[in-house]
Amino acid sequence: TAVIALSLLENTNVQPLPLLYSQPKKNIANRAVEQLIAQFNFFKATEVKGPYVNPFSFSLLVSDVVSPLPDSYSPQYVEAAWYPWWEKQGFFKPEKSVSEQNPHGIFMMCIPPPNVTGSLHLGHALTNAIQDCLTRWHRMRGETTLWNPGCDHAGIATQVVVEKKLMRERGMSRHDLGRENFIQEVWKWKNEKGDRIYHQLKKLGSSLDWDRACFTMDPKLSYAVQEAFIRMHEEGVIYRSKRLVNWSCTLNSAISDIEVDKRELTGRTLLPVPGYKEKVEFGVLVSFAYKIEGSDEEVVVATTRIETMLGDTAVAVHPADSRYQHLKGKMVLHPFCDRKMPIVFDDFVDMSFGTGAVKITPAHDHNDYEVGVRHNLAFINILDENGLLINVPPPFLGMKRFEARKAVLQALKDRGQFKEIKDNPMVVPVCSRSKDIVEPLLKPQWYVNCTDMGKQAADAVREGRLKIIPDHHLKTWFNWMDNIRDWCISRQLWWGHRIPAYFVTVNDPSVKPGEDVLDTWFSSGIFPFSIFGWPNESEDLNVFYPGTLLETGHDILFFWVARMVMMGLKLTGKLPFKEVYLHAVVRDAHGRKMSKSLGNVIDPLDVITGISLEGLHAQLMDSNLDPLEVEKAKQGQKSDYPNGIPECGTDALRFALCAYTSQGRDINLDVNRILGYRHFCNKLWNAVKFAMKTLGDNFVPSEKFPPIVSDRWILSRLSAAVGLCDAGFKAYDFPAITTAIYNFWLYELCDVYLESVKPVFGKAEEDSASQRQAMVCRQTLYTCLEVGLRLLSPLMPFVTEELYQRLPRRRPQSDPPSISVTSYPDTKEFCWHSEEVDRDMEFVMTVVKTIRSLRADYNLTKTRADCKMTRYLHCIDSATVSLVQKYSLQIQTLSYSQAIIPLTANQPVPEGCAVAIASDRCTVNLMLKVRAGNLLNCAWSL
């Protein structure tokens, strides 16, 4: 027994004092301290959620962790302390896994850097479960393994978070503070709050090498960003150009094409827009007339954005449209200013749509921009960066753009030039960051020419140098790469990598010198090599670049994967990884996307530790949903989790997520299934507990195994499971792995083998032959446990470690200290798979099941000793007879029979038997008589 007094000092470090332990139990006692510390740290890290009692001190008796194994499985107990121990021992460092006698190659994978502002939901937990599972597998295969953690500075998201905080706490905007001070605020926020993601990743058991963690704004990575920009600029791949960009008035910044969500409307719809109290009307087509100069004639045009008519500089018709031939060379008059606008003939116009005449706003529409370039039209910019009208006459000057939408309509009506308004199905571009309506705005920005890079990225896949798995994503890849557009990389933000190009243009007042930063994905695009100090030489860069694999959800193929591939090829001349594995996207049990307002965004930590319904509700109050949405989300939580979420533990969560990946592109996640795997952990726990009792305190696993292969069947099944796991890992087929392991442990080891060997151990003391048999069985049993745990370890690292630590070692001096650095069971080592043995046992199990169901028919429960009768197995040939003889002990035990007597085809079956057919080779006869002539009283139903 070890007594540990822990005193937890005020606000500060945990200090174990004093620590007394009995020498042989030193490791376990140390672990107990770590367990307490880990729990305490966890408490500190989640202080926002609960009351924080401070200061306090306590002492604890930890005899329970020193004793062999607690009675029942508790994820909290099992998962409390292993992680800090693994970390401290350096098991996750590639240096540790280098095995000199046994060089097995290198596995390197970098985490697709999560946002520093983010917190993981179950979808991310899937990413993590898969990545960690693969990493642990590679590590256990003896490869030099590095899974490199890191975090993205998330330009827009982080700036928005800190701006909101600043406004809430000090009533200040970032402009009040100034750029330098604001950046300092962001760093302060990052240092205080930016580690939530890392904390979650650790709780999920992720075997990342934390000493190599990188933040995209670290000096090392920023240096790489600058170098990348300069090189690409010098090559002419990065250029500056003034063209229409996607502008978010709320963010005051350009955003890239993939940050624009396309919202489909079927007709008139009122949408909320940031900065407007009332909703704004979309999805209607307004027709109005322009008067022809010098005549009474008019041309009717239509638009879904009527306010843009203030920036019109032409009307276009199709060159072949007979309705407008007479208007060649004519002008139309703008109703609100003295602007004469040409009628241009351009075959982009669709004659059959509306009147066949189109208004042209070159500075605010992508198609019109092209028309403007072709016909040399004026480009009049009518919006400033905040979405206020400029370069327009009063009363519109200075209006907000959607106020102007109403004002222009009214003014047209007043002048009699309004024609009609009707529903118009359309797509509205919405900024995925700010939810503002995106405005095309003419701005000088920095672009990456993606023409050549995209082609190379596509070729790499076409030529098989880069593998994308599963291959149904290939089509999307080629489609995107073959039609790639140049990438706008400048953002008008303060938080991010400042573009290393500073200049002032006197002629263009819209250019603010040196303000822009780079798109966040510019730095994540070079992450696979910037983390190793590129462009400088380093050992890490030589050893770990190019990496092996990039693993991510298929929904971010273009955000990360595509850019990493393009920039890797461009800047290093090498593909950053050899394979890309894309997993499914997690949805809720009803198949809906995870969304805060549906109340189905679940924190993986809540599944791990469990949470009440009230606890889930309380989290909504911390979010920035409006009250109506909170109510809706609460209802969603109430119907999905009426009793909250039960404690499932990390192991069960990881196993469930991996098992789920069979569902194709989307996964509909049901928390009850995760709970099912907690029960599996329980089974595992009990099996090992039972087995350890059977092995006894003095059991010594033989160094060479097997001494005699007598338990052929379970070893055959174990070898089959090893083979299935090996194939599953190689094919990224996680459900194949989880199924193989689950079936082996539950159906083969627990249900059949453990049951069938009970009598062997029961009579172990009787004679030397059965002692020998029991000894062999113990070795088999030990092998099944030890190998079974190692098979499972990449998926369930915690419970397997806990149980593995309790097992004796084959080579106590040289075996690794942790299951996480043992070797993964190998098909070469475990080659006892025999189809013949499997087939025999299948036959045996059919017989057993037949006897069991026959017994059930006659209500002979297994607890009734008087019903343990003789079974006669009537066999078709001598081969079947010897098969039955060979397995008679197993059949007898598993079917709770007194004796198994095989009969040949011509031997008669004694009278008084119930009969059932087990197979075409064997008939089961169940003796219902106790003594001759006396029907068993339990056979009353005869």
Ligand X SMILES: *[C@@H]1O[C@H](CO)[C@@H](O)[C@H](O)[C@H]1NC(C)=O
Contact footprint for ligand X (CB under 6 A): 220, 223, 239, 449, 451-452, 533, 536
Which one, 374 or 839, has the nearer CB to ligand X?
A: 374
Give the angle 316-320-326 at the CA atoms, nearest 5°. 70
Contacts of 324 (CB under 8 A, 6+ apart): 299, 317, 318, 343, 356, 357
Least distance from ligand X to the Cβ atom of residue 564, Å: 19
Least distance from ligand X to the Cβ atom of residue 456, Å: 11
Least distance from ligand X to the Cβ atom of residue 485, Å: 10
Which one, 448 or 881, has the nearer CB to ligand X?
A: 448
Least distance from ligand X to the Cβ atom of residue 262, Å: 25
Which one, 227 or 281, has the nearer CB to ligand X?
A: 227
Least distance from ligand X to the Cβ atom of residue 445, Å: 12
Least distance from ligand X to the Cβ atom of residue 235, Å: 10
Least distance from ligand X to the Cβ atom of residue 219, Å: 7
How long, in residues, is the chain? 942
Which segments of 287-418 does DSSP mark as H helices, in order? 366-375, 401-414
The span from the CA of 463 to the CA of 578, in Å, is 12
Q: Dihedral sign, CA of 893, 895, 901, 903?
A: negative
Residue whose C-alpha is closest to residue 391's, from 476, 469, 311? 311
- 681-719 as b/e, with b when 16 or more CB fall inside 10 Å? bbbbbbbbbebbebbeeebebeeebeeeeebbbbbbbbb
Token pair listed for 285: 């087509």
The span from the CA of 647 to the CA of 746, in Å, is 22
Which one, 52 or 239, has the nearer CB to ligand X?
A: 239
Which one, 449 or 597, has the nearer CB to ligand X?
A: 449
- 726-736 as b/e, with b when 16 or more CB fall inside 10 Å? bebbeebbbeb
Least distance from ligand X to the Cβ atom of residue 249, Å: 27
Q: Dihedral sign, CA of 749, 752, 755, 760?
A: negative
The span from the CA of 526 to the CA of 529, in Å, is 6
The span from the CA of 822 to the CA of 658, in Å, is 22
Which one, 243 or 330, has the nearer CB to ligand X?
A: 243
Least distance from ligand X to the Cβ atom of residue 237, Å: 8
Which one, 220 or 435, has the nearer CB to ligand X?
A: 220
The span from the CA of 274 to the CA of 435, in Å, is 7
Which one, 43 or 223, has the nearer CB to ligand X?
A: 223
Token pair listed for 367: 């198609």
Least distance from ligand X to the Cβ atom of residue 530, Å: 9
Q: Dihedral sign, CA of 368, 369, 374, 380?
A: positive
Token pair listed for 865: 């000793």
The span from the CA of 666 to the CA of 230, in Å, is 41
Least distance from ligand X to the Cβ atom of residue 224, Å: 7
Which one, 199 or 220, has the nearer CB to ligand X?
A: 220
The span from the CA of 163 to the CA of 175, in Å, is 10
Q: Are 434 and 295 in contact (CB under 8 A)?
A: no
> How would you classify residue 87: left for phi > 0, otherwise alpha for psi between -120 and 50, otherwise beta?
alpha
Least distance from ligand X to the Cβ atom of residue 238, Å: 10
The span from the CA of 10 to the CA of 53, in Å, is 10
Which one, 215 or 685, has the nearer CB to ligand X?
A: 215
Residue whose C-alpha is closest to residue 531's, from 250, 224, 770, 751? 224
Which one, 540 or 748, has the nearer CB to ligand X?
A: 540
The beta strand positions in 293-417, using DSSP E, are 298-303, 314-317, 331-333, 340-345, 357-360
Which one, 239 or 348, has the nearer CB to ligand X?
A: 239
Least distance from ligand X to the Cβ atom of residue 546, Å: 19
Which one, 449 or 805, has the nearer CB to ligand X?
A: 449
